[in-house]
């Protein structure tokens, strides 16, 4: 992995800073919500103590409601009695079910409201077989049950206004003019709208619908009812006004009786932004909810519309315990505290205090937005800074690496240390640069010593060798016995071999100088190879020499004489290792990387460890040597020098089929 990529990955650890900030925001949110909860409990306790002391404001025991009682909501205006539900749909009054069945099950719902002391009802009855009353047969009937079991019957003969008739054991049948009703048929049954005065009910109200099918001869086939012989209930206006005084901004208060019905309410929740926030900033809201998400909680119940508390926290508080709960409303949380109202050891009702997390969410949302902005900005700056630093560092290292490779591979003359750049940087890379330069300086000194060693040896050994040879020549003039003659001949052969070695070393030294000063020209390498192959076949008729080259000219810049010397050395090497009846092939191939010149021969393979050293000076892989020849490995060394002079690269490989070796060079484009 590149250095820049490594530092870029390391820069990602900078994200731990915003993560810590997110944790801090989450902790801050938790502390603020706990503070809201404690504030709610304290407010609810204070209000519960006040209501327990004020019997006139909240009696709690004068009238007993039941869970099936009829609850009348406060209406903003008086509905028009026309049998239509248009007004009721816009009011915060949830439909309630007529749940108790009579005979066969039927279905229906009602909405109840109260305005200026008058009671209003809207009933939606499902009836697949409507039946209107006739003089001879009773039809579908709606009944209002009041105190003492008195029943007020509504039996319409047609859609429109309906008059009620009391059915009493004491007074018999009597009309009721304090009731106004409008009966209208609908797509699935009936819509019945009523207006009643409280005085006609005496605090008790029950609803009953009797279905007398058109094919049953007026007999009851099904029915439903609600609140039979139960006190109806509604919120106290005086208690509402008192609760509004205690309801601060964003605080909603409610009071329930022992059946959970709402008998007082005041204040409104601060729910602004509960649905718009995600529309304002969808991405931010998603990230926020992802990072600061908590466990799933129940959705807030709409008790102002239903008129009744039915959640577990309020029902548990009716047993005398203080309860707290958390509900969700959109992306907000609503905290609730339920405190029982206790008078004389008896639980009369519950005070409910609610407050949303809108202010907390606004504060944490603002903090999160700022933190996200600065976190992203700081992370980008850190990443860009590290990337820039890594780029500069990588460039310096690449320059150092390129300078080292250039110093070792540049065929141009000059000192190795002089070709290595020097830096004044005081950091570790600067120290490494100076260490490399010092190392190359010492290597340059040693290389220069090796280059001049052959000339020095040749010069220093010629005089002693001449003395030894003249002494041996003089010794040959003397009369020697047979054994001494053998030793004299061996000494003469050794001096001859040593003289050949010195001559070869001197020749190589002179040839190296001539290679450096050779003049270049543009010539056809293909023609040179063809002519050289023909000459080798004439010179070595016993050897099978073949040429494989393209059918067109291959022009290069170089010295034809040096290339011929290079081919002579490669062919001589191939002949030394090629067996009888073997093949030596001269090849010339044009490739994308450059022109490839090869000399391949059958014979033994190169050892793997020698393939990279074969073109070094004084290196040879011959196992046997002729008595009067010296193989110092200078031939292939001269090949390398000629290749470097032409800015070419030499190579030595074994054939893919394992039948021999391939030596050659590539003229780079």
Q: Are 621 and 492 in contact (CB under 8 A)?
A: no
Task: Look up the CATH number of the domain holding residue 301.
Answer: 3.30.450.20
More confident residue, 380 or 191: 191
Q: In what order do the strands lie in the sheet with 346-356?
A: 262-266, 251-256, 346-356, 332-343, 323-329
Over the stretch 56-82, which tens digit does the pLDDT of each residue have? 778 765 456 788 888 999 999 999 999
Q: Are residues 477 and 606 in the same domain?
A: no
Would you say residue 86 lies in a domain? yes
Q: Using the 3D structure, point to which of 513, 531, 552 is the last residue of a domain.
A: 513
Q: What is the dihedral of CA 582, 588, 591, 595, to 10 degrees?
A: 130
- Give me the chain's average pLDDT, please: 81
Q: Are residues 83 and 220 in the same domain?
A: yes
Q: Are residues 146 and 295 in the same domain?
A: no
Cα separation, 363 vs 622, whole angstroms: 88
Q: Are 178 and 196 in contact (CB under 8 A)?
A: yes
Q: Using the 3D structure, point to which of 183, 204, 231 is the last residue of a domain.
A: 231
Q: Which helix (H) or strand (E) holds 643?
A: helix 634-645
Closest CA to 25 of 211, 292, 233: 292
User: Which whole number is the average pLDDT over 343-347?
Assistant: 87
> Into how many domains does the chain fold?
4
In the prediction, which pLDDT does 278 show?
A: 43
Is this structure's pTM higher than 0.85? Answer: no
More confident residue, 663 or 514: 663
Would you say residue 172 lies in a domain? yes
Q: Are residues 113 and 190 in the same domain?
A: yes
In the prediction, which pLDDT does 210 show?
A: 86
Q: What are phi and psi of 619, to 5 degrees?
A: -120, 130
Over the stretch 112-138, which tens digit does the pLDDT of each residue have? 999 998 999 999 988 888 888 887 788
Kindly state the tokens that stand for 290.
């992802």
Would you say residue 386 lies in a domain? no
Q: Are residues 77 and 226 in the same domain?
A: yes
According to DSSP, the residues that pair with 110 across neighbouring strands are 96, 123
Q: Are residues 349 and 279 in the same domain?
A: yes
Q: Which residues contact 157 (CB under 8 A, 6 or more apart)?
A: 132, 133, 134, 139
Q: Are residues 662 and 531 in the same domain?
A: yes
DSSP state of 199: G
Over the stretch 205-219, which tens digit does the pLDDT of each residue have? 888 888 876 665 656
Q: Show the DSSP H helices in 159-269 as ranges.
A: 237-246
- Exposed, middle or buried: residue 364 (CB in 10 Å: 0-12, 13-18, 19+)? buried
Q: Are residues 225 and 98 in the same domain?
A: yes
In the prediction, which pLDDT does 394 show?
A: 82
SS3 654: strand
Over the stretch 498-531, which tens digit does the pLDDT of each residue have? 777 777 666 666 677 777 778 899 999 999 999 9
Map tokens 């990072």 to a residue.
291
Over the stretch 255-291, which tens digit does the pLDDT of each residue have? 999 889 999 999 988 876 555 444 444 455 555 555 5
Reported confidence tier of residue 545, pLDDT bands at 50, 70, 90: very high
In the prediction, which pLDDT does 446 show?
A: 81
In the prediction, which pLDDT does 411 show?
A: 44
Would you say residue 376 lies in a domain? no
Task: Look up the CATH number of the domain holding residue 633.
Answer: 3.30.565.10
More confident residue, 448 or 306: 306
Kindly state the tokens that stand for 45.
């306790």
Would you say residue 412 lies in a domain? no
Q: Are residues 225 and 240 in the same domain?
A: no
Would you say residue 390 lies in a domain? no
Would you say residue 395 lies in a domain? no
Q: Check pLDDT > 90 for residue 408.
A: no
Q: Which residues contact 370 (CB under 8 A, 6 or more apart)?
A: none
Q: Are 253 and 247 in contact (CB under 8 A)?
A: yes
Q: Are residues 532 and 484 in the same domain?
A: no
Q: Are residues 192 and 240 in the same domain?
A: no
Q: Using the 3D structure, point to which of 488, 513, 538 is the last residue of a domain.
A: 513
Task: Look up the CATH number of the domain holding residue 472.
Answer: 1.10.287
According to DSSP, the residues that pair with 662 across neighbouring strands are 600, 653
In the prediction, which pLDDT does 229 show?
A: 64
**How many angstroms separate the Cα of 267 from the Cα of each of 245, 246, 325, 331, 354?**
9, 8, 19, 21, 10
Give the range of the structural domain holding residue 439, as residue numbers without chain letter.
428-513
More confident residue, 515 or 169: 515
Would you say residue 417 lies in a domain? no
Q: Are residues 149 and 219 in the same domain?
A: yes
Q: What is the dihedral of CA 538, 541, 545, 550, to 10 degrees?
A: 30
**How many angstroms separate the Cα of 621 from the Cα of each of 574, 581, 610, 633?**
12, 22, 8, 8
Q: What percent of the chain has pLDDT over 70?
A: 82
């Amino acid at each position: 992995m590149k250095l820049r990529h490594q530092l870029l990955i390391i820069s990602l650890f900078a994200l731990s800073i915003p993560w810590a900030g997110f944790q801090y925001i989450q902790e801050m949110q938790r502390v603020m919500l706990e503070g809201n909860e404690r504030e709610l409990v304290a407010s609810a306790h204070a209000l519960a103590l006040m209501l327990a002391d004020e019997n006139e404001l909240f009696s709690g025991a004068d009238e007993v409601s039941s869970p099936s009682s009829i609850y009348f909501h406060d209406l903003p205006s008086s509905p028009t009695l026309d049998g239509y539900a248009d007004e009721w749909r816009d009011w915060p009054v949830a439909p309630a079910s007529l749940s108790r069945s009579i005979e066969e099950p039927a279905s229906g719902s009602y909405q109840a409201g109260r305005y200026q002391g008058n009671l209003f009802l809207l009933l939606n009855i499902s009836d697949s077989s409507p039946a209107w009353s006739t003089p001879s047969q009773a039809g579908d009937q709606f009944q209002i049950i009041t105190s003492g079991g008195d029943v007020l019957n509504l039996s319409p003969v047609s859609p429109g206004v309906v008059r009620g008739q009391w059915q009493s054991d004491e007074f018999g049948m009597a009309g009721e003019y304090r009731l106004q009703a409008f009966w209208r048929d609908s797509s699935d049954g009936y819509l019945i709208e009523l207006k009643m005065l409280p005085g006609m009910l005496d605090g008790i109200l029950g609803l009953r619908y009797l279905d007398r099918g058109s094919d049953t001869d007026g007999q009851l086939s099904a029915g439903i009812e609600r609140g039979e012989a139960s006190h109806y209930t509604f919120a106290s206006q005086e208690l509402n006004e008192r609760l509004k005084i205690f309801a601060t901004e964003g605080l909603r208060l409610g009071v329930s009786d022992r059946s959970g019905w709402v008998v007082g309410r005041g204040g409104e929740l601060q729910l602004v932004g509960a649905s718009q926030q995600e529309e304002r900033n969808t991405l931010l809201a998603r990230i926020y909810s992802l990072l600061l998400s908590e466990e799933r909680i129940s959705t807030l119940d709409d008790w102002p519309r239903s008129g009744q508390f039915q959640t577990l926290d309020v029902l548990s508080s009716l047993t005398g315990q203080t309860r707290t709960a958390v509900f969700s409303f959109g992306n907000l949380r609503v905290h609730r505290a339920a405190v029982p109202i206790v008078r004389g050891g008896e639980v009369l009702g519950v005070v409910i205090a609610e407050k949303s997390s809108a202010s907390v969410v606004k504060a944490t949302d603002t903090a999160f937005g700022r933190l996200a902005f600065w976190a992203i900005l700081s992370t980008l700056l850190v990443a860009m800074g590290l990337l820039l630093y890594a780029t500069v560092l990588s460039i310096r290292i690449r320059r150092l690496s390129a300078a080292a490779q250039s110093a070792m591979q540049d065929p141009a003359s000059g000192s190795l240390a002089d070709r290595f750049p020097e830096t004044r940087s005081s950091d570790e890379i600067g120290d490494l640069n100076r260490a490399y330069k010092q190392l190359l300086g010492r290597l340059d000194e040693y290389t220069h010593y090796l280059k001049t060693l052959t000339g020095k040896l040749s010069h220093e050994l010629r005089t002693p060798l001449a003395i030894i040879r003249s002494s041996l020549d003089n010794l040959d003039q003397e009369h020697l016995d047979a054994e001494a003659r053998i030793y004299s001949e061996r000494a003469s052969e050794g001096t001859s071999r040593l003289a050949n070695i010195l001559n070869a070393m001197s020749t190589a030294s002179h040839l190296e100088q001539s290679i450096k000063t050779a003049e270049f020209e543009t010539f056809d390498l293909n023609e040179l190879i063809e002519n050289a192959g023909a000459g080798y076949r004439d010179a070595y008729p016993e050897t099978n020499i073949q040429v494989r080259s393209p059918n067109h000219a291959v022009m290069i810049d170089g010295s034809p004489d040096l290339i011929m010397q290079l081919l002579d050395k490669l062919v001589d090497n191939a002949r030394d290792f090629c067996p009888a009846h073997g093949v030596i092939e001269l090849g010339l191939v044009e490739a994308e990387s450059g022109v490839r010149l090869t000399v391949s021969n059958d014979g033994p393979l190169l050892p793997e460890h020698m393939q990279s050293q074969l073109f070094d000076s004084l290196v040879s892989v011959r196992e046997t040597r002729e008595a009067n020849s010296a193989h110092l490995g200078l031939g292939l060394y001269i090949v390398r020098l000629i290749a470097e002079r032409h800015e070419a690269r030499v190579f030595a490989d074994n054939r893919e089929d394992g039948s021999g070796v391939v030596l050659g060079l590539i003229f780079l484009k």
